[in-house]
Amino acid sequence: MRKLEKKIALITGASSGIGKAMAIAFAREGALSIVVDIHEQGVKDVVDAIVSEGNNAWAEVCDVGQALEVRQTVARVIAEFGAIDILVNNAGIMDDFMPAADVEVQQWHHVMNVNLHGAYYFCHEILPAMVERGKGNILNISSVGGIQGSRAGAAYTAAKHGLIGLTKNIAFMYVGKGIRCNAIAPGGVNTNIGAGMHPNAFGYERMMTGMATMPRMAAPEEIAAAALFLVSDDGSFVNGEVLVADGGWTAY
Mean pLDDT of all residues in 72-81 = 98
Helix (H) or strand (E) run with residue 12 in it: strand 8-12
Of the pLDDT bands very low, low, confident and very high (cuts 50, 70, 90), residue 70 is very high
Superfamily of domain 8-251: NAD(P)-binding Rossmann-like Domain (3.40.50.720)
Q: How far is CA 56 from CA 18, 72, 113, in A?
A: 18, 22, 30
pLDDT at 207: 78
Mean pLDDT of all residues in 111-140 = 98
pLDDT at 168: 98
Of the pLDDT bands very low, low, confident and very high (cuts 50, 70, 90), residue 144 is very high
Q: For helices 17-28 and 220-231, give the axis angle rounded to 10 degrees.
A: 50
| DSSP letter (8 states) at residue 218 | B
Of the pLDDT bands very low, low, confident and very high (cuts 50, 70, 90), residue 77 is very high
pLDDT at 71: 98
How many angstroms separate the CA atoms of 90 and 38, rounded? 12
Helix (H) or strand (E) run with residue 86 in it: strand 86-89
Mean pLDDT of all residues in 241-251 = 95
Closest CA to 218 of 189, 179, 178, 197: 189
| DSSP letter (8 states) at residue 1 | -
Mean pLDDT in the chain? 95
Dihedrals φ, ψ of 37, to 5°? -165, 165
List residues with catalytic annotation.
Answer: 156
Kindly report, residue by residue over 182-224, the tens digit of the pLDDT: 999 999 999 887 777 788 887 778 877 777 788 899 999 999 9
Q: Is the pLDDT of residue 230 over 90?
A: yes
Written as one letter, the residue type at 67 is A
How many angstroms separate the CA atoms of 28 and 41, rounded? 22
pLDDT at 52: 98
Burial of 91 (0-12, 13-18, 19+ CB in 10 A): buried
Cα-atom radius of gyration of the chain, to the nearest Å?
Answer: 17
Evaluate if pTM is beyond 0.85: yes
| DSSP letter (8 states) at residue 232 | S
Helix extents (H) in the chain: 17-28, 40-52, 67-81, 105-112, 118-133, 154-173, 201-208, 220-231
Q: Is the pLDDT of residue 225 over 90?
A: yes
Domain ranges within the chain, ordered by starting residue: 8-251
Q: How far is CA 196 from CA 94, 133, 165, 193, in A?
A: 10, 42, 29, 9
Q: Is the pLDDT of residue 64 over 80?
A: yes
pLDDT at 204: 78
CA dihedral 159, 164, 166, 168 (to 10 degrees): -170
Kindly report, residue by residue over 153-189, the tens digit of the pLDDT: 999 999 999 999 999 999 999 999 999 999 999 999 9
Kindly report, residue by residue over 12-57, the tens digit of the pLDDT: 999 999 999 999 999 999 999 999 999 999 999 999 999 999 999 9
DSSP 87-138: EEE------TT--TTT--HHHHHHHHIIIIIHHHHHHHHHHHHHHHHT-EEE
